[in-house]
Structure 1
Amino acid sequence: MMRTRVTRRSALTIVAGAGVSMAAGRAWADTPSGRVIYPVAIPVYQSQFVADRAGFFREAGLDCKLIQGGSGVKTREIIASSQGDIGIGDITHPMQLSNHGRSARVLMPVDTRSNAAIFIIRKDLFDQGITTLEALAKWKRPDGRKPIVAVSSLGGTNHVWASYYLETMGLDDKVTWIGTGNVDTMMGTLKTKQVDVLINSPSILKDSIEQGWGALLFDGTDEAVWAKYIGGKVPVTSHFTLQSTIDKDPQKMQAFVTALWRATQWIKEHSPEEIYDAIEPYVGSTSRDANVFDIGIMKKVTDYECVIDAESFARGQKVWFREMTGIKPLAMADVVTTSFIEAARKAYPA
């Protein structure tokens, strides 16, 4: 496959190709608009960013606007209210919607394990000897309260996976969870010691270490750690929508999925530096080096097949369907639809 270098400048000037594949939708008389929702400005959502910046949405016949939801839960709420066509976030979001009477569908998976279950502790606490989760659980704040652990949103990806680790270790009742929103806010609360631990991505870890106010406490994204506690491939992040949105215009939804499939294959064929040059406007809250580092890790965990199999779905159930999430068990067929990604893969073979 030919490699095309998309630089920061050239990504802005890529224009649509002449033809639109049948799998990408139809030739509309007027280019339909689309609203694509992502939670926060980190590389885990890069497939949406690339689909926009490399022109794949436009080539699919869509005039798309990417909108930052502010958190995974807020992204879910935007999709639930039909103010967005397609969202990206933890796979539990469409499950939550389906559990609450808003039938939702996973359109395609993004990754094979979490890239955002990294426990970042305040550097001053790490220097005091709090270097393990067990030590954190024993420690108390000056006012006697439990350690405060921050995530982007309660019920979002960070919370779901980090809480599972603590629950498995018997430490889940030893901390207090709070949601802190977007990247700038999350980093600010750790830097100013309003929280004790922040759960987030490799880019935020790298920036916090280099700026001297954070340290790695526990890496839940590490392959060996993941294998020990999770057991193998699991679709953590996904593109999702409402069934009613699909029913309203299935060809438009096909166009979305085809563009995102092409973006995923573009990511596979390009270096972290090239990917960063393309998506820079969407991830500007952390440094270039931190983002390139994060993207490099994402390349290792991205699901380039974009297919959820029965084994990986079954493996994730112990995390998804538990008291903390409140999600009632769902069969794979009740939440995952495969027809759109199958058509996209056929139209644009990997």
Structure 2
Amino acid sequence: MTSPLTSLPKVSVLTRRHVVTALGASAALAGSRAARAASAAKGIYPVATCSYMVMFVAQGLGYFKDEGLDSRLVQGGSGVKTREIIASGQGDFALADFVHPMLLTNKGRPCKALTAVDRIGAGLQFMIRADLYAQGITDLAKFVAWKRPDGRKPLVGVSSIGGTTHVWSSYFLEKLGYDGMVTWLGVGNVDTMLGSLKTKQVDVLINTYSLVGEVERQGYGKLLYDGSDPQNWDSVIGGTVPVTVNYCLQARIERDPALVQAWTNAVMRAGQWVDKHDPEEIYGAIEPFVGSTSRESNLIEIKSTKAVGNPAGLIDQAAFDRGAKVWFREMTGVQRLPLDAVYAARFAEAAAAKYPA
């Protein structure tokens, strides 16, 4: 399969300092507000990829600060570990797959999504070892039919078992008729994911465009299948879905709704800013958070993630129903829930009213 990765036009590099300076008017507005003590808030994100750039933008451009928050962002290491951190109370807010607040709700730790940041899963790029691609294994059908030298099924690496990539890519394989034909492995964060493919510990790695850019640039991997391609996505899923959400425990909402509203406001502003700015500007704002992959690879991922963004942040019933077939199945272990049980719409609606797109 021919890689869709294309060169972006060369423009001047915009640093984070330039971006922050350009937003001086926003800072001035924040400074004119009545002084109040900053509220501490810790946000958790799974891994350091541009898929989570809305949270990075909110931090990098001072939107959390504008809302009166003393914010700190922490990498969880995977979607599952991020969920565990939130459940334990060691983090206040998370940005990860919608399946995580659903699972916590099922297990007696009620959670609510606050905003959705996308409409299509942006990290469903299947990368195969370059040596296998050179042997003629150039599509999914050939890959799942291939056996390792010891006769075992092919090994497929994802950040974590039960995380975003695993949930969605396993559904794709089921619908394409390849259920049970691979062995899944959780291989961790960006560095260990890349290392697992490079050292042939896995045969295919599934993650984002920035990792595709790295493996192809270094020559040890090739793009095999792109589940995020709109044609592939629609053929399997049938339309938009709130894949990645900003969420917190219901207990946090009950204890401090003003803090939750402030966080939601900042994330929504960040989503709107991303929607209106080009990849170079976005990279300037988030560069400190995505240093494990090259600038060129990150620009590719920013472009693709921006294309499927949801700047309005709202979740509608039809989109939720499309996602239900992926979330509520035996593989995930998630018991069916209605939308209002896992979505506190009032925070996104209030943020949208305060900051109309």
Instruction: Answer whether contact 2:112 2:250 (CA < 8 A) is retained.
Output: yes
**Matches of 1:17 and 1:92, distance apart in 2:** 39
- Aligned equivalent of 1:102: 109
Find the residue that maps to 1:65 and give its secondary structure: strand
**Matches of 1:70 and 1:58, distance apart in 2:** 25
- Aligned equivalent of 2:48: 41
Counterpart selection for 1:193 from 200, 209, 217: 200
5+ long unaligned stretches in structure 1: none
State whether structure 2 residue 12 is matched by structure 1 residue 10: no
- Aligned equivalent of 2:10: none
List per-residue Cα deviations over 1:57-105 (Å, max 9, x = no partner).
Answer: 0000001000000000000011111111110110000000001110000
**Matches of 2:28 and 2:126, distance apart in 1:** 44
**Matches of 2:317 and 2:251, distance apart in 1:** 25
Task: Please tell me the root mean square deviation across aligned C-alpha atoms, in Å.
Answer: 1.7
Find the residue that maps to 2:306 and give its secondary structure: helix
Counterpart selection for 1:308 from 315, 319, 323: 315
Find the residue that maps to 2:127 and give its secondary structure: strand
1:9 partner letter = R
Find the residue that maps to 1:218 and give its secondary structure: strand
**Matches of 1:348 and 1:170, distance apart in 2:** 44
- Aligned equivalent of 2:9: none
1:36 partner letter = G
**Matches of 2:56 and 2:152, distance apart in 1:** 40
- Aligned equivalent of 2:279: 272
- Aligned equivalent of 2:69: 62
**Matches of 2:174 and 2:31, distance apart in 1:** 48
Identity %: 52
Instruction: Answer whether contact 1:111 1:302 (CA < 8 A) is retained.
Output: yes
Within 5 Å, which residues of 2 pair with 1:73-222? 73-222=80-229
> TM-score normalized by structure 2?
0.93
- Aligned equivalent of 1:250: 257
**Matches of 2:15 and 2:204, distance apart in 1:** 36
List per-residue Cα deviations over 1:112-156 (Å, max 9, x = no partner).
Answer: 001111110000001111111111111111111111100000001
List per-residue Cα deviations over 1:304-344 (Å, max 9, x = no partner).
Answer: 22111111000111111011101110001111111111111
**Matches of 1:21 and 1:125, distance apart in 2:** 60
Within 5 Å, which residues of 2 pair with 1:290-305? 290-305=297-312
How far off is 1:244 after superposition? 0.2
Q: Cα 1:316–1:217, aligned 2, differ >3 Å: closer, same or farther?
A: same
- Count of aligned pairs between the two proteins: 342
